[in-house]
Amino acid sequence: MGVKRQTDKGSEALLRLEDISLSFGGVTALKDLSLEIGGQGIFAVIGPNGAGKTSIFNVINGFYRSWKGRILFDGVDITQLKSAKIARLGVARTFQNIELYTGLTTVENLMAARHMLFKDTILEGAFYFGRTLKQEVIHRKVVEEIIDFLEMEDIRKVEVGLIPYGLRKRVELGRALAMEPKLLLLDEPMAGMNMEEKEDMARFVVDISEEKKIPVLLVEHEMDVVMDIADRVIALDFGRKIAEGPPEKIKTNEEVIKAYLGDEL
Amino acid sequence: MFSDTLPKLLLEKYQEYGDKKVAMRRKDYGIWIEYTWKDYYEYTKYFSLGLIKMGLAVGDKVAILGENDPEWYWSALAAQCAKATCVGVFADSTPPEVEYIVRNSDTVFVVAEDQEQVDKILEIKDAVSRLKGVIYWDPKGMYSYQKDPFVIDFYHVVALGREYEKECRGFFEKNIEEGSPDDIGVICYTSGTTGSKPKGAMGSQKYLVAAGESWCAVDDWSSKDDYLSYLSPAWATEWELGLSSGLRSGATVCFPEKPETVQTDIREIGPKVVFYSARMWESLNSTIHARIANTIAPFRSIFHICLRIAFKVIDAQFQKKPVGILWRGLYKMSDLVLFRYLRDRIGLSNIKWAYTAGAGISPDILRFFHAIGVNLKQIYGLTEALMNSVHRDGDIKPESCGIALPGNEFKISGTGELLVKPPACFSGYYKDPENTKKQFDDEGWIKTGDAAYITSDKHVVILGRMKELVDLEDGNRFSPEFLETRLRFSPYIKDIMAFGEKGRGFVIGIVVIDYDNVGKWAEDNGINYTTFVDLSQKAQVSDLVLKEVARVNSVLPDWSRIKRYVVLHKEFDADEAELTRTRKLRRAFMVQKYHDLIDAMYTDAEEVAVEVPVTYRDGRKGLSKSVIKIREVSGV
């Protein structure tokens, strides 16, 4: 893949952010942020609006560049890598505002996510023979397993533009899974959903972590969901990490309460 | 000679076809996976031996809880091969319902589909001490249960049986051979429209085998036919069709991927035999009409012209009148232009026989499906007495349930109740001799509980449940069901309960709109709405319903017309015990639950505030408050 794997002993973490800082003009989005994500579990980033939650994702993803510090993923320094390359290393994500091909069906959206795993040539692809044909079968099988996992059989061949919002979020999650990631980043997976859809989604996230053993880093506003499913919570305020720990501890942390409710007058 | 038990039939088919013919087909991961008769036989065999190894004894009960799948069939027959009895449980039963059945039937093993069903069993397991274990066949989401010895993988049991066979060769075959027609093969719990708790009707092997026999005698199923298994096997009907008739004829049984995907799956199979409940035909009819209403004007005109031609021909055929060559030609053309595409759309292009039973179907719907070329036939049957009558090809009366099956006799009692004497009937209710006795009259006829009459050409016409026939003022009898089935023909009405009683003067209706179709209609007509509650109380929606009510009123005698009605703010729900699991109204319960509403409809009030207790799926309870408008139908 053309990426040099640094031997970084002493770090068990799958993802490590060291002193990451990001600002837009005079606005500081992230300030000297360091955090570690282990090899398993659900990690949640919480914080009030504008605390820098989505910025973390964008930095990890390579959409934004931190001007100091470094990011290590699976022992590789990804600080300066392009988004596509980071994705190839095994970081998949979903977006706060769904980003799917609305004109394609669920299956096609998921298959598109696997294009980077296809091993064939343009010629074979254009005429649909040789390796393309075989690969299509292999990848379709993986995609079908994801459809089964996320219970999307009934929308398998429905255009994504026609399905309801809550289900589209599920398709997006499916697309992220189709990349066979080592780490899954979920940006507000429950936003705009009704109660039942939230419960479904929460169950899928837990299943991904426990059954598929893929660590999940999620940003979420739904506090009860976060406290319910997360193993570890990271609280941000104005781009700074103000607390980190298991949900029970975060709930009672004074700084967190202050950040959400404001200072007493 | 045909074998006299289902396990013997299975053995016979296995010897006849082996791995040369497909017995079952199921969709999984988007692909149709095929199982030959050898697979069918072997899974049944090894699962049966596995169960015995785990401690299943002769006469024990094995309950099965899940949607239609090959494993359902295998487990059911495996239990019978081990000389045990199978107990079917509806997949959408709540934990208390499951507990009642498991306890009442003395079940020792439950075969459950997936995590959802296993959870129900784990919730009740402490309350039912007899239970030895729960076996699941869909491993999805089961990772966290792996350490629990109470929870066992289906395929683990199969492997256990395979091992066990080495110790006891010939044991399984001997078990089959020793099976007798008097063995109780199945206990079907009746849905309990009548009483409070369901009763377990026991079916012997003789009963099960006879079902397939009389079935195949009327409609000649062959080994080349495909049957879509969609009815819950907890219902006796699926035993009669998919299991008994399937084993007899050697037809291929196809299992859809999910209940929600049936409409796409059925198109891929193109089955020759299909059985939907009346509600499913109704919803299919609604969908077709709603889609047509949404298309462009020229297409709509074509549809209506073709349908008019079709009705002309079909009505003549129903009345056995000759059809002119011109009309026949036009009908043929309509078929070429429209109907064959329509049938293809709904997956019925290869259909030979389509059936319905259960809640009575509206004659309009039967007529409609015949018009578009679907040979839809109505069946009459009881869990206690099997299938008793069916429409014969070419002898369809839309309002009847056909004529008696070979070997069945009908009689109308002095009170107008339909009595039946079938060639084989149930063996009584499990542990309930008192109710068993009540089911028979002094001469051994089975009481059906339905009011009916028999026409001069021997067709059985059902009027409704005896208990539900209402005597009105001037000695007139009114059948709520009769009204309801006709109103449900409307694509906009999903459910309705009609009500009338002595001293009340007139008949009223509680209407539930079809959310999808009315919602679409509202969008097309620029009516904004937020939720079901909001939509249901729109004046325009009430007008829409009014038109449908007036249409049905126009064909009814004065005294049974609906005079006032409300559009309910919620749907009728089986989880709240408003409907049975087969979606029949539980009328007595409903009258009590909605008594405030009903009382208000007999006053001059224009609206009424209702507080209805609701039960959520997880068992939580709440109160739903709403103001409902009462509408009067003018001219009644």
- The answer to whether the beta carbons of residues B196 and B180 sit under 8 Å apart is no
Q: What pLDDT is stored for residue B624 in this prediction?
A: 72
Residue-wise pLDDT tens digits, B108-142: 999 999 999 999 999 999 999 899 999 999 998 88
Enumerate the residues of chain A whose CB falls inside 8 A of the CB of residue B28. 148
Lowest model confidence (mean pLDDT) among B261-270, B438-447, B570-579: B570-579
Q: What pLDDT is stored for residue A8 in this prediction?
A: 46
Residue-wise pLDDT tens digits, B130-186: 999 999 999 988 888 878 899 999 999 999 999 999 999 999 999 999 999 999 999
Strand pairing report for B151-153 and B133-136: parallel
Q: Which of A40, A141, A148, A212 would you mutate first to test chain B, the one with the most B CBs within 10 A?
A: A148
Asked if A145's CB is within 8 angstroms of B258's CB, the reply is no
Q: What pLDDT is stored for residue A5 in this prediction?
A: 46
Residue-wise pLDDT tens digits, B199-217: 999 999 999 998 888 888 8
Beta bridge partners of B259: none
Enumerate the residues of chain B whose CB falls inside 8 A of the CB of residue A147. 29-30
Closest Cβ opposite residue A148 in set B29, B144, B264? B29
CA distance linking residue B421 with residue B405, whole number of Å: 11
Q: What pLDDT is stored for residue B57 in this prediction?
A: 95
Q: Which of B26, B28, B29, B69 would you mutate first to test chain A, the one with the most A CBs within 10 A?
A: B29
Asked if B260's CB is within 8 angstroms of A154's CB, the reply is yes
Q: What pLDDT is stored for residue B191 in this prediction?
A: 66
Closest Cβ opposite residue B257 in set A141, A153, A210? A153
Enumerate the residues of chain B whose CB falls inside 8 A of the CB of residue A211. 141, 143
Closest Cβ opposite residue B29 in set A144, A151, A207? A144
What is the full per-residue pLDDT of chain A (265 aa) written as tens digits?
A: 444 444 444 446 899 999 998 888 888 888 888 989 888 899 999 888 878 888 899 999 888 888 888 999 998 999 989 998 999 899 999 987 788 999 999 999 999 988 877 777 777 777 777 788 888 889 999 999 999 999 999 999 999 999 988 899 999 999 999 999 999 999 989 888 888 888 899 999 999 998 899 999 999 887 888 889 999 999 988 888 889 999 989 888 888 888 877 665 4
Asked if A154's CB is within 8 angstroms of B258's CB, the reply is yes
Residue-wise pLDDT tens digits, A147-169: 999 999 999 999 999 998 889 99
The pTM for the full model equals: 0.82
- The answer to whether the beta carbons of residues B383 and B357 sit under 8 Å apart is no
Most confident of A62-71, B281-290, B331-340, B391-400: B331-340
Lowest model confidence (mean pLDDT) among B184-193, B271-280, B517-526: B184-193
Whether the per-residue pLDDT at B531 is higher than 90: the answer is no
Whether the per-residue pLDDT at B192 is higher than 70: the answer is no
Closest CA to B80 of B229, B254, B233, B292: B233
Which amino acid appears at position B79 of this protein? A
- The answer to whether the beta carbons of residues B89 and B101 sit under 8 Å apart is yes
Look up tokens 């068993």; give the residue.
B436
Nearest CA in chain A to B260: A154
Q: Which H or E run includes B34?
A: strand B31-36
CA distance linking residue B562 with residue B556, whole number of Å: 9
Closest Cβ opposite residue B261 in set A149, A154, A211? A154
Residue of B244 and A38 predicted with greater confidence: B244
Closest Cβ opposite residue B141 in set A107, A145, A207? A207
Lowest model confidence (mean pLDDT) among B21-25, B43-47, B48-52, B268-272: B268-272
Asked if A157's CB is within 8 angstroms of B143's CB, the reply is no
Q: What pLDDT is stored for residue A11 in this prediction?
A: 47
User: Mean pLDDT over residues B483-510, rounded?
Assistant: 86
Asked if A147's CB is within 8 angstroms of B29's CB, the reply is yes
**Average pLDDT of chain B?**
89
Is the Cβ of A141 closer than 8 Å to some Cβ of chain B?
yes
Q: What does B269-315 look like in DSSP terms, one character per residue?
A: H--SEEE--HHHHHHHHHHHHHHHHTS-HHHHHHHHHHHHHHHHHHH
Asked if B30's CB is within 8 angstroms of A156's CB, the reply is yes
Interface of B with A (CB under 8 A): 28-31, 140-141, 143-144, 257-258, 260-261, 264
Closest Cβ opposite residue A153 in set B140, B144, B258? B258
ipTM of the complex model: 0.77
pLDDT class of B509 with cuts at 50, 70, 90: very high
Enumerate the residues of chain B whose CB falls inside 8 A of the CB of residue A164. none
Whether the per-residue pLDDT at B193 is higher than 80: the answer is no
- The answer to whether the beta carbons of residues B236 and B387 sit under 8 Å apart is no
Q: Where are the beta strands (DSSP E) in B576-617?
A: 607-615
> In A, residues 29-48, which contact B (CB 8 Å cutoff)?
none
Q: What pLDDT is stored for residue B255 in this prediction?
A: 95
What proportion of chain B, given as a percentage, has pLDDT over 90?
53
CA distances from B587 to A146, B465, B480, B497 (A): 44, 11, 10, 8
Q: Which H or E run includes B450?
A: strand B446-454
Enumerate the residues of chain B whose CB falls inside 8 A of the CB of residue A153. 30, 257-258, 260-261
Nearest CA in chain B to A141: B29
Q: What pLDDT is stored for residue A9 in this prediction?
A: 43
3-state secondary structure B518-585: HHHHHHHCCCCCCCHHHHHCCHHHHHHHHHHHHHHHCCCCHHHCEEEEEECCCCCCHHHCCECCCCCE
